[in-house]
Structure 1
Amino acid sequence: MCEIFCFNSDKPKQINECLECFYNHSENHPHGWGLANMQPDEFVIRKEPIKATCSQHLKEILSNPLVSKNVFAHIRLATMGEIISPNCHPFIELDDNNRSWMLIHNGTIFDYPPLDKYREIETGNTDSERILLYIIDNLNKFEEAKGAPSTIKERFNLLAELIEEMAEGNKLNLMIYDGDLTYIHSNMRDSLYYLNNDEGFLVASTPITDDENWKPAEMNKLFGIIDGNIIFESEEHDNEFILTKEHEEFIQKHINSLNLGD
């Protein structure tokens, strides 16, 4: 599956070293890379459907200081969808109140029928893009019923409910950003870690520095982070994902088809 990373802080920091360490994991995740630099006035997104360590474009980006309060990164091992740019993370969509949303995903949706209808409108053909479309669709319905934009807490509560439902039988390690709040969720043991220090709040699929203070992220909860601090934490749900032989065979079959060019 994929690897994901985010950095969240109260002040802009240079994070080139962390990103370089993260992208060096791409030997085992060769199907694309993505980078989202969340500036106050725009989301700057770069991505390519090639191995990160082979990307001249990424090398050029990281040859200059990358300074930001909010950064997300992704390296892809395709378990669904082709190796094309529209299938690379991050995904970005607007809601009906013109709020930009960004999502990166580590995992696979094996069975969740409510996502199926978004196959007709997504740009690529991944389960991950459909997750974002589903979240925004439900948010739009909530805000239409309310007759006003949602508050940060209302958005957090809505996502906590939707993610708990989606997590049943599916691996759902997610990082989402709505312009205000960073949402973090993991439901598989030993698949997401965090480090909180003076530099900021870092979250990654595997520790990317030698710091001994990296800890496993708490599973089956949604966390909301602003300025390097957890401000919201959901109740724990019961939908832990456990990888089975059948899951592994499903994933390997798809990877083999990509390698064969099918």
Structure 2
Amino acid sequence: MCEIFCFNSDKPKEVNQCLECFYNHSEDHPHGWGLANMHSDDSIINKEPVKASCSQNLKNILSNPVVGKNVFAHIRLATVGEIISPNCHPFIEADDNNRSWMLIHNGTIFDYPELDKYADKENGDTDSERILLYIIDKINEFEHEKGAPSTIKERFNILNDLVADLSKNNKLNLMIYDGDLTYIHSNMKDSLYYLKNEEGFLVASTPLDGDENWKPVELNKLFGLIDGNIIFESEEHENEFILTEEHERRIEEFLKTIHRDENND
């Protein structure tokens, strides 16, 4: 599975140290890296289908200050999709009101047939990209019926319903950004942690340092963050993901195909 990271704050801060700690985990997540620095007027997206520790591009980026209020990062251990750039996170897509959405995902969709129709629409071939396309379709449907753009609270409520349904029998650790709100969700124990301090709000798959104030993200809830604070918190759903032998078998079968492809190159 992948690892994910986000930094959310009320003021732009330099996050190089956090990112370097995060990308140091790439030995166990060698199938790609991504970095998104999201701004209100522009966003900077970089990603490659190579191990982060081997990327000269990433080294060049981190040799300069990375400063932002909404920064997201991803290192990939593929469970669905080829090792190619279109399958690296983050995924970015605009809705019909020209709002840009960004998504990074740690997990696997084992069972959600409604995503199948996006296989021919996505740029790559990951379940994660299909999640984003599905969410945007639902936002578009709501706004077309309303006849006006959605409010922040309306979008949170829509995503809360979608995420609760998507999480049934699927590992769904998500970070989503819609230009206003950062959404955080986890439904597997000990797979996502947060730290709130004077710098802002940090979330990562594993604690990035020895600070004892890192805490597990509360399971089966959707959180909405702005300016380093939780402004929305959903009710708890019942769809905790527990990895079974069948899940592990399916992941192992996919990883074997990757290793065969790598050996043939």
TM, length-normalised to structure 2? 0.98
Offset at residue 249 of structure 1 (A): 1.0
- The residue number in structure 2 matching 1:51 is 51
The letter of the residue matching 1:105 is H
- Report the equivalent of 1:126: 126
How far residue 40 of structure 1 moved from its aligned partner, in angstroms, is 2.2
Establish whether residue 98 from structure 1 lines up as the match of residue 98 from structure 2.
Answer: yes
Once residues 201 and 132 of structure 1 are traced to their aligned partners in structure 2, the CA distance between those partners, rounded to angstroms, is 23
1:147 aligns with 2:147: yes
In structure 2, the residue matched to 1:40 is: 40
Q: State the Cα distance separating 1:42 from its structure 2 match.
A: 1.1
2:58 maps to amino acid: L
Corresponding residue for 1:107? 107
Give the partner amino acid of 2:239. N
Match of residue 199 from structure 1:
199
Matched residues in 2 for 1:76 and 1:17: separation? 20
Letter of the 1:69 counterpart: K
Equivalent residue letter for 1:213: N
CA distance in 2: counterparts of 1:109 and 1:42, whole angstroms: 31
Q: Which amino acid aligns with 1:95?
A: D
Question: What TM-score results when the alignment is normalised by the length of structure 1?
Answer: 0.99
Q: Secondary structure at the match of 1:89?
A: coil
List gaps (5 residues or longer) in structure 2. none
Instruction: Letter of the 2:210 partner, please give it.
Output: D
Amino acid at match of 2:8: N
Q: CA RMSD in A?
A: 0.7
Any idea what SS the aligned residue of 1:260 has? helix
- CA distance in structure 1 between the aligned counterparts of 2:39 and 2:122, rounded to whole angstroms: 25
2:203 is equivalent to residue 214 of structure 1: no
Measured in 1, the distance between the counterparts of 2:228 and 2:164 equals 24
- Residues 1:159 and 2:159 are matched in the alignment: yes
Distance across 2 between alignment mates of 1:39 and 1:102: 12
Q: After superposition, what is the alpha-carbon deviation per residue over 1:4-55, rounded to whole angstroms, capped at 9, x for unaligned?
A: 0000000111010000000000000000000000122112100000000000
Amino acid at match of 1:248: E
Q: Counterpart amino acid of 2:30?
A: P
Match of 1:88 in 2: 88
- Aligned with 1:175: secondary structure? strand
Q: Which residue is equivalent to 1:240?
A: 240
Provide the C-alpha distance between the structure 1 equivalents of 2:31 and 2:170, rounded to a whole number of angstroms: 21
- Write the letter of the residue equivalent to 2:204: A
Deviation at 1:256, TM superposition (A): 1.1
Separation (CA, whole Å) in 2 of partners of 1:252 and 1:201: 34
- Aligned residues between the structures: 262
* Structure 1 consecutive aligned stretches of length 4 or more whose deviation exceeds 4 Å: none
Q: Offset at 1:153?
A: 0.1
The separation in 1 between residues aligned to 2:154 and 2:83, in whole angstroms, is 36
**Separation in 2 of the partners of 1:42 and 1:259?**
38
Instruction: Report the secondary structure of 2:174's partner residue.
Output: strand
* 1:230 counterpart residue number: 230
Q: Match of 2:255, SS?
A: helix
